Amino acid sequence: TTTLKVFTLLLSLCVLIGCAPDAHAGSGGVYSGTWGELTWTFDNGLLTISGEGAMDDFENADDDSGWRSCKLGVNSIVIEPGVTSIGRAAFSSCIQLRSVTIPEGVTSIGNSAFYYCTKLESVVLPEGVTSIGEYAFGYNTELKSISIPSSVTTIGGRAFSGCTGLTSLTLSNSV
């Protein structure tokens, strides 16, 4: 049983020093890293994504790679100019997320990118976005309004499914 005691001790240490998933959520520290070609910083609820190019996809909503280890503590996201797409499941299940800034230059929003961000109330999509993926904003129950720019030509199935609070959706003739 010495092996069991050592294992229990190591597991306890991992939890204490933040090896567990979502360990950064609400902890007040500053965390940063890279995801593909992009850099991320998480500081006191604010997640900032910067760099040049497309955002890599995440496997699914349960993937805790990159900044997703902080997902339960994210209340605001700023995507800086230079980022050209938002990857699959990038911010899904960020249940404390209230605001997101998407810059001009982003052309696509991947499948389930903001899926189940239940406190997100409004989204401003910049001109230049051409596609919105399946379930991109699905089950954002507090989402009240969204304006789809004229540059959007494709909206995936169920992109706004389960958005029970949605009272205003503005579309252009191009969709």
At 112, give phi and psi (nearest 5°): 60, 20
Query: Do 87 and 68 contact (CB within 8 A), yes or no?
Result: no
| Whether the predicted pLDDT of 24 surpasses 60 | no
For residue 173, what are its two tokens? 């003739």
Question: pLDDT-based confidence at 171, cuts 50/70/90?
Answer: confident
Tens-digit pLDDT profile for residues 77-116: 999 999 999 999 999 999 999 999 999 999 999 999 999 9
